[in-house]
Structure 1
Amino acid sequence: MFLTFQFNKTLLLGFVGLAFYIIGFQYKLPLSEVKETYLVTRTNVDHWELFFFLFLTNLRVGLLIVVFGFITGGLASIIVFGWNAFSLGLLINSIFSTYKNPFLVLQEHLLPHATTEIAAFYLYACVGLEGYHFFKKMVANSEFTIELIPSPRFLIIPSGLLVISALIESFISS
């Protein structure tokens, strides 16, 4: 099966992520002490151990987006992607409210790996949105064919992006 990346659905997913990011950025949480400790403790961890932890954690989230997104017709993909965007907004807000030079912290600890990680989760969410087409064809045409289920090969690129992101986060950003 080929993924049916329809421009309006993928654009909607991007807008949902952006909206949740903005809401998260505007939301105030008292996380300043937690973030300071987080950045300090990450420097004392073995880089390969951190890589495997980050990769496996993010892979679990990505597969959660795909599987539950597919099962719910794409709804869970939108919710989890939106939640990640909200969490990113919270993190960036707490960095701006905690550090004297937040742009340096963002440049050194977040930006190097954030681009590939966000792209990976976006691609996972697009695969999860394919559940909508699956259920639409199943209900409209009363057909269930294996071709409607996305192939695991569509997980190669986002998983590769997560490997790159985890390598950058564990060896460069930490």
Structure 2
Amino acid sequence: MAFQIGAKPDSGFDDPIGMLKDCHRRIESFLHILCVVVDRAQGRSLTDEERVAVQAALQYFRTGGQRHTADEEQSLFPRLRKSDAQVFEEIDRLENDHREANDLHGSVERSYSAWIQSGELGPEETRQLFSKTSRLKQLYSDHIHVEETTVFARATQVLDRNALTAIGTEFRFRRK
């Protein structure tokens, strides 16, 4: 079975909400791959295809996940806090999710890296890695649900097109 990531839709930098949603889809895809790999590879070493898929997922989280967090916490969340008192609690929760996901990602990354290097994963390590990966997947799923149903919806209601375009421009400049 080949691991495939769907093509990234190009939402453009003038659509920061679309760009963040695109990022959510990639995060979900990579987390799915990690869960499938650890579930499928119990008691054996990784195949070359699985190793490449795991390394790609870990690399995305290391770079894309960090940029995603920075985009939200440095651009979108501050503007939304100034414009809409109704989302303070949700934004606080999302920022806490970012911290928990970052910590959990570090633990997951170390475990997968050790597996890649050693070539083997015992039953207890497999269980722990699957548990951590599943927790990370559930955390992101809940996080994405809150963002897309509450925060992003409010952002498109309370921020005008110029503010959204400015946020998208900030995302673009931070990526260079």
Give the TM-score category using the shorter length: 0.3 to 0.5
TM-score by length of 2: 0.43
